[in-house]
Every structure is written in C-alpha cells, then in structure tokens.
Amino acid sequence: MFLILKMIIIFTFFDYIIYNYYSKNYNIIYINDSYKYRIIISTIYWLFLTFTLTYNLLSLDLSQYILYSSIISFIIYFSMNLYNKKINTSYSIQFMCVDIFYGIVLTNILILITYFLK
C-alpha cells in the first residue's frame, strides 16, 4: 500500500510539472482552487485505479484495464477542463486537448507500472 501511495505522489508531481509547463506555454492564467480540485480528483481516481488493479478487484486483463481507464480518464479530464473553461476565459481548445492527452498518458503509464509490479 505504501508503494501505491508513493507512485501516486510521483505521478501527481509529474502532472503538476506538465500542467505548469503547458499553462505557461499557452498563457493560461489559472485559479489556484481549480488546480487544487484537479489534484484531488485525479489523485482519488489514480488511487482507486491502482487499488483495484493491485488487489485484482475486477477480473480484467491488461488491455481491458487500459481501454476502460482511458475512457474514464478522458471523461474525467474533459469534464475538469470544461469546468475550468467555464470559470477561466483564458483556456484554449489546444490547451484542453494537450491536458486531456497527457492525463490519459499518465493514467496508462500508471496502469502499466502497477500491473507489472503486482
């Protein structure tokens, strides 16, 4: 369980680095509360995902985990970006696409690492 928490902290840090880099690249002025909610939502999602994969709560193989988690990750990141777009007018469609893409990539990398470590 401690290994799962360490991995999630590392992935949250990578998510923070990527988000800050691209927000400066696309000149996004974001509100701190929106990023705090983003961290909370993605950390809960990643914790639930790694917990179900580590303890084999769902009897799925690796390709099914990747497919279903990619779909759920797309929905979560898309809804977070829509909410932030509604609050913040400096959000662009390109930034939203990049954010969704890297959210799905980070989720799939976390699945692969968790799958091969169990």
- Whether the per-residue pLDDT at 112 is higher than 90: the answer is yes
Angle between helices 93-117 and 2-25 (to 10 degrees): 160
- Whether the per-residue pLDDT at 4 is higher than 90: the answer is no
Six-digit token string for 91: 């959000």
Which pLDDT value is given to residue 94? 93
Q: Per residue in 10-64, pLDDT tens?
A: 999 999 899 889 888 988 877 777 788 888 999 999 999 999 998 888 888 889 9
Q: Residue 112 to residues 43, 68, 108: CA-CA distances in angstroms?
A: 17, 14, 6
Which pLDDT value is given to residue 84? 86
Q: Per residue in 68-99, pLDDT tens?
A: 999 999 999 999 999 888 888 888 899 999 99
Six-digit token string for 49: 């995902």
- Whether the per-residue pLDDT at 5 is higher than 80: the answer is yes
- Whether the per-residue pLDDT at 100 is higher than 80: the answer is yes
With a threshold of 0.85, does the pTM exceed it?
Answer: yes
Can you tell me the distance from the alpha carbon of 97 to that of 78, in angstroms, rounded to the nearest whole number? 9
